[in-house]
Amino acid sequence: MYDQVQQEQSPDSQPPGSRIDPVLARSWLLVNGAQYERFAVAARSRADIVVLDIEDAVAPKDKGAARENVIRWLADGNSDWVRVNGFGTPWWADDLALLAGTSIGGVMLAMVESVDHVTETAKRLPGVPIVALVETARGLERIAEIASAKGTFRLAFGIGDFRRDTGFGDNPATLAYTRSRFTIAAKAAHLPSAIDGPTVGSSALKLIEATAVSAEFGMTGKICLTPDQCGTVNEGLSPSMDEISWAKEFFAEFEADGGEIRNGSDLPRIARANKILDLARAYGIEESEFDDEEVHAPAPSDTYHY
């Protein structure tokens, strides 16, 4: 529940309340902007990024109060993200006007369907990173353009609205094409990998399975709806102990064999091993074990993109 942040040790070793670079952020926790009492609870959670929501979670009559809550929170020196209303809605311009010049960390822009939605937002919030939340068939058909738009920082999949728009079910096979489009568009535009949509419900097993689906499709972030989802998402989108062991064993074998490229398969394996160990360090997983390890040269850029 929102009023009870789990205090037990999470599988990842990031302490509660810590934030990481949004390029690497796994758990993106949405917090109802109309409920100010939840802000501090979210800030103490294991979320990589906290996103104060003044869009979908807030009824039209409460949007003014939600904006005031967000401005009050940011004025106190916080630098969390905000999900703002979509371009073309009656609230978009006022959202941006109030956020301009604050300590906001970034914005998640709802209902992105074209490049203009991003670029016009970027003009009003210069220098503020924008996560483009694509939630409709129209947006999906333009996702490559949206990913390449000046101002787009990451892509995010708005599953609920997309399913309402298209009539799709929630079976992973049904949404396989859609998730693939997000990952391919992000990589082609040299963006960090896409953020998957949230999993509704309190079943831990369901969340574990859904996070595994996100990882399978190359998505490295996931929207969370409650603080207690964040630890599970962080673990599911982090390198596993088996992967870390493989990477260390690979480099030990590689160095013992002379440290020279032996065949074509070495390049992608070097890239994968470096990625695993870099992420483990960034997420604080077994960090002390890497302190004395040699840093290996990255693979060529046409083989591996971070």
As a whole number, mean pLDDT of residues 199-207 equals 89
Task: Clarify whether residues 263 and 132 are in a common domain.
Answer: no
Q: Do residues 138 and 113 lie in contact, with contact meaning Cβ atoms separated by under 8 Å? A: yes
Q: pTM here?
A: 0.86
Domain co-membership, 277 together with 147: no
What pLDDT shows up at residue 19? 82
Q: At 64, give phi and psi (nearest 5°).
A: -60, -45
Looking at the fold, whether 216 and 164 belong to one and the same domain comes out as yes
Please report the pLDDT score of residue 255 as a whole number. 87
* Rounded Cα gap, residues 106 and 183, in angstroms: 21
Question: Could you tell me how far CA 198 lies from the centroid of its own chain?
Answer: 11
Instruction: Give yes or no: residues 77 and 199 share one domain.
Output: yes
Q: Which domain holds residue 270?
A: 241-290
For residue 96, the model assigns a pLDDT of 98
CATH number of residue 229's parent domain: 3.20.20.60
Statement: residue 298 has pLDDT above 70: no
Domain match, 117 and 257 both: no
Percent over 70 (pLDDT), the chain: 87
45 plus 83 within the same structural domain: yes
pLDDT of residue 264: 80
Tell me if 230 is assigned to some domain. Answer: yes
Report residue 11's pLDDT band, with 50, 70 and 90 as the boundaries: very low
Number of domains in the chain: 2
